[in-house]
Amino acid sequence: MKYTIPFILITFLLAGCSRRDATIQKELTGTWHRDYYHTWQITNVIASDGKCQSQVFGSNNVMVSSSEGSLIAKNGVLIQTMIQKSDTNMQTPQVVQWQIVHLDKHKLVMKFVSNKGDLVKTYERVER
């Protein structure tokens, strides 16, 4: 009986996280665009199940790279798993956790924190 209340509180906490994650995942679904130093154009297409395809175009509008993987909301953070990338011999899967700085219907801002410094990416929604 003494463990009943903590168990119920943990259950509500986990249920709240999964509901929030579902809301985040729904908001992520769509096509996102990012300009990278006015030289590269990056487009990410994220499906409702989190599967993600990314394409990078150079200044001459020629695709220079593509990748596939997933971007999944879990416990309020974004888990990016890259399973294939066209321009490298990278070992897969590669997993990165992103903090959500801002997310709405028009903009996604996410941050990766490392001992080498923070990396912030900002994407604008293209279509819904």
| pLDDT in the model for residue 6 | 41
Q: What is the mean pLDDT of the chain?
A: 84
- Burial bucket for residue 28 (CB in 10 Å: 0-12, 13-18, 19+): buried
- Burial bucket for residue 128 (CB in 10 Å: 0-12, 13-18, 19+): exposed
What are the pLDDT digits (tens) for 64-98?
889 999 999 999 899 999 998 886 777 778 899 99
- Residues 49-78, mean pLDDT to the nearest whole number: 92
The CATH number assigned to the domain holding 44 equals 2.40.128.280
Only one residue has tokens 């990396």, namely 119
Count of domains observed in the chain: 1
Give the range of the structural domain holding residue 122, as residue numbers without chain letter: 4-127
Say if residue 18's pLDDT is above 50: yes
Q: Which two tokens stand for residue 34?
A: 């990012």
| pLDDT in the model for residue 57 | 92
| pLDDT in the model for residue 70 | 97
Say if residue 13's pLDDT is above 50: no
Say if residue 7's pLDDT is above 60: no
